[in-house]
Structure 1
Amino acid sequence: MAPAPPAPTPATSSRLDWLLFILLGFLWGSSYLFIKIGVDAGLQPFTLVAMRLLVGFALLGVVVAAARERLPRNPRMYGHLLVMAAFSVAIPFSLITWAEQSVDSTLASVLNGSVPLFVIVIAAVFLRDEPISVNRLAGLALGFIGVAILVGFDPADLVGGNLTAKLALIGSSLSYAIGGVYARRMVHGLRPMIPALFQVGFALVMVAVLALIFERPLRIPLRPDAILAIIWLGLLGSGAAYLLFFRLLGNWGATRTSMVAYLLPVFGIVLGAVVLAEEIDAGLLVGTALVIGGIALVNARWGSRPLFGTRATTVAKPQG
């Protein structure tokens, strides 16, 4: 019998976690590319979202069952998980997918990377331990200038629907932020995989109903690119990515793991340009730099003394 492999050292474990961190950024950042591939292949927005959630829910269900995770006993907790499913999954997934019918995946990835900026504003109002500080004000100002540059104003947008799509992407970021703050305030005492399972499951029901109402007859093109988009988004973007996220959350904590937000625009821009030949102009690069710089300022130790509230903490940014 072969000898057992040596136990991983802290250094080896750290290197593995960093590799998983980069992989997580790639999986979530590539979701925008595969959403674009899916809608361009003829999948309707609600249908694509429902299909990816169905695949993701199946994977998460198997993992939760294998781990014998305990389900919540408090009936009210399911109500909180339902709200989280709406704001953290169903609404943002649907808005992003609908918007990518009109805009490039690169722009979608960058605008969605602004979620931490919206979290700052909402958390300052509803969470006592998330005050506004000097660095957060500076980060908000810089980040929202970047968002304004990315949205811009082109008269052609009013005709082509691009402006509405850009506003939908901003709405998805706002929805993610509301869901994250709600979870911080209302959902406690659960192992992380349980909220993930119920968020995806409840959101699946919501979006499936919308698809049946607004997209009948349902069309699922039996094209390789459409099938690839569903499988990638379901198994990897909505399933495996959660597993990586919760491993890192357990090893690193929320603050360090939340830094994956920096990788999403990077992978989104590179993949959109390389795979779909999407144009990268100066406005996209400048806006991206300002958004990432704003997030960096928000999480910086400099100027973290609160202007009001109790203490400054780093905002985590989980993705769907």
Structure 2
Amino acid sequence: MKTNRYLIETSVACLLWSGSIIACKISYGSIGPFTLGLMRFSLAAVIMLAMLAVTRDHDRPRGRDMAICAATGIVGTTLYFAGENYGALLLPASTSSLIIGAFPAMTLALESAWDRTRPDGLKAAGIALAFVGVAVLAYGESSSGGSDVVLGDLALLGGGLCWAVYNLMMRPLLGKYSTTSITAWQTLFGALGFVPLVLLTEGLPTATPAPEALLSLAYLVLGCTVAGFILYNHSLKGLPASTAASFANLIPVFGLILSALILGEAITVPQHLGGSLVVAGIFLSARS
């Protein structure tokens, strides 16, 4: 039963994250990608640190563990979301979906190399099937609207590598501290990591963001960051990193559903087929 709980938690996290691309696109009208990262994670860190104070959670990582929190915050927050935000700015949704679909395979390969083990056959088959599903989804989408594709590809792939490393770096912290405490300190360090990126590339904002950008920012802070990361980090207590990461393949599926419900976009036959393959692949990976 506990395993089912962890699977539900990581699924909900991916559902929340699936709306992030839409929210980011809306925000880019008046907020730069790195400035958006700084605002998002600064506000989220304040909220989560306040949660620790209200609940009197004094289980703060110390010494080497705090250093690990800082490192995972830079890798899993600053570098990953810098790559995702910048890649999403340059690429069409189809290309972004295909690259994000490769992240679980990258995590599995890195996890197997780190542990010096062979990937479980069922898990590897599940991730491969899910990747095929994402490829079908990407093929069925329009490829228009992207610019500087190579740079966008590299940005997203770099972010995916950071996500794979983040999952392994989290291991020494799991079970030692509360999930909220770990996530709060990671988010704080991740927000600080965005400061030099903003100063070097975009500069401090001089105008007030548009109302729709502020609403999107609120969703990114409360839904994608506070709730999403707490749920995902807690799921890592009961799931292997590669299994939890395989649920990232649900993001383009959830994204299609949200696009249909919110934007009224029609779901095509290739999208139905690709979504079914993704769900089947995740079922095999989780079952292993």
Aligned partner of 1:119 in structure 2 is 107
Aligned partner of 2:173 in structure 1 is 187
Instruction: Tell me whether 1:100 sits opposite 2:60 in the alignment.
Output: no
Kept in 2, the 8 Å contact 1:98–1:165? The answer is yes
In the alignment, residue 157 of structure 2 is paired with which amino acid? Answer: I
* 5+ residue gaps, structure 1: 1-9, 11-15, 302-320
Residue 68 of structure 2, aligned match among 80, 84, 87: 80
Aligned partner of 2:126 in structure 1 is 139
With structure 2 as the length reference, what TM-score do the two structures score?
A: 0.78
Deviation per CA, 1:169-200: give whole Å up to 9, x if none.
2332222111001212x335222222201111
Deviation at 1:240, TM superposition (A): 2.9
Aligned partner of 2:197 in structure 1 is 210
Residue 36 of structure 1, aligned match among 25, 37, 44: 25
Deviation at 1:102, TM superposition (A): 2.7
Aligned partner of 1:46 in structure 2 is 34
Separation in structure 2 between the aligned mates of residue 190 and residue 271 of structure 1, nearest angstrom? 34
CA distance 1:18–1:170, change in 2 (3 Å): closer
Aligned partner of 2:149 in structure 1 is 162
Instruction: Tell me whether 1:269 sits opposite 2:252 in the alignment.
Output: no
Q: Secondary structure at the match of 1:42?
A: coil
Identical residues among aligned pairs (%): 25
Residue 47 of structure 2, aligned match among 59, 65, 70: 59
Aligned-residue CA RMSD (Å): 3.8
Q: Indicate the structure (1 or 2) with the bigger Cα radius of gyration.
A: 1
Kept in 1, the 8 Å contact 2:134–2:252? The answer is no
Aligned partner of 2:15 in structure 1 is 26
Separation in structure 2 between the aligned mates of residue 21 and residue 145 of structure 1, nearest angstrom? 21
Deviation at 1:103, TM superposition (A): 3.1
Q: Secondary structure at the match of 1:101?
A: helix
Q: Which has the higher helix share?
A: 2
CA distance 1:229–1:277, change in 2 (3 Å): same
With structure 1 as the length reference, what TM-score do the two structures score?
A: 0.71
Deviation per CA, 1:258-287: give whole Å up to 9, x if none.
485464222212223554567866666555
Instruction: Tell me whether 1:299 sits opposite 2:272 in the alignment.
Output: no
Separation in structure 2 between the aligned mates of residue 150 and residue 174 of structure 1, nearest angstrom? 22
In the alignment, residue 17 of structure 2 is paired with which amino acid? Answer: W
Deviation at 1:92, TM superposition (A): 1.5
Deviation per CA, 1:83-141: give whole Å up to 9, x if none.
2112211111111111222334576456435433222111101125x641222332344
Question: What is the aligned length?
Answer: 281
* 5+ residue gaps, structure 2: none
